[in-house]
Structure formats: structure tokens, C-alpha cells
Amino acid sequence: MANAQSPRQSKDALATTLSRIDDPAIMLAMLDDLCTPAELTALCERWHIAQLLDEGELTYREIGARAGASPTTVTRVARFLRDGGAGGYRAALDMQKEYAS
């Protein structure tokens, strides 16, 4: 029987595992197995919103329309970007820009 992990240990183990997957097909398969369709849709929606917010060219209303998201979701993502949250959105957006250059 596996040792029981605390929620923090499980979160760390998941983050470590995901960070080691460098094949997009494997990552998609993992996400499909890990998330319900609704959860995966929500993750994709939030990531799209973060990208649109980072571009800085659209209003929240326009972003919501493009992403198919509620104003509440757009505002929540914007708050995490603005106030820093855990820093994940900013780090991922900056990493994406590095790869694009």
C-alpha cells in the first residue's frame, strides 16, 4: 500500500510530474485523464483569458466574448495577473514569450 500523502505533498508530486512532461501529446493525454471535460475547458478558458489580458488590447467585455467566458472569470484572472496571485500566470506567460522569440 502506498504511503498516504498530505494534500501539499500530492500537489508537489503532481507539479513535478507535469513539469517533466515535454511531449505535448503526452501532456494532452495526461490532462484528458486527469480532468473532466468541464475542468479542462475551464483551464483552457482561463489560459486564453490570461493571454488576451497580457496582450492588453481588449476590454474585459471583449475578452469575455472572445474566450466565451463570464465577466466574473475574466475579472478573476485579471486580479491574479494584476495582484500576482501565486505568480503562475505571469511565469507561464513570460515563458511562452521566451519560446516565441
| Domains of the chain by residue range | 45-101
Spell out the SS3 assignment of 68-89.
CCCHHHHHHHHHHHHHCCCCHH
pTM of the model: 0.84
63: nearest Cα among 90, 75, 96: 75
Calculate ∠ Cα 62-27-39, nearest 5°. Answer: 50
User: What pLDDT digit, counting tens, does each position of 38-85 carry?
Assistant: 999 999 999 999 999 999 999 999 999 999 999 999 999 999 998 878
Residue 21 pLDDT > 80, yes or no?
yes
Gyration radius from the chain CA atoms: 16
User: What pLDDT digit, counting tens, does each position of 74-90 carry?
Assistant: 999 999 998 878 889 99
Task: Determine the residue type at 24.
Answer: P
Give, to the nearest 10 degrees, the angle between helix 37-55 and helix 24-34.
130
Residue 2 pLDDT > 70, yes or no?
no
The pLDDT value given to residue 85: 81
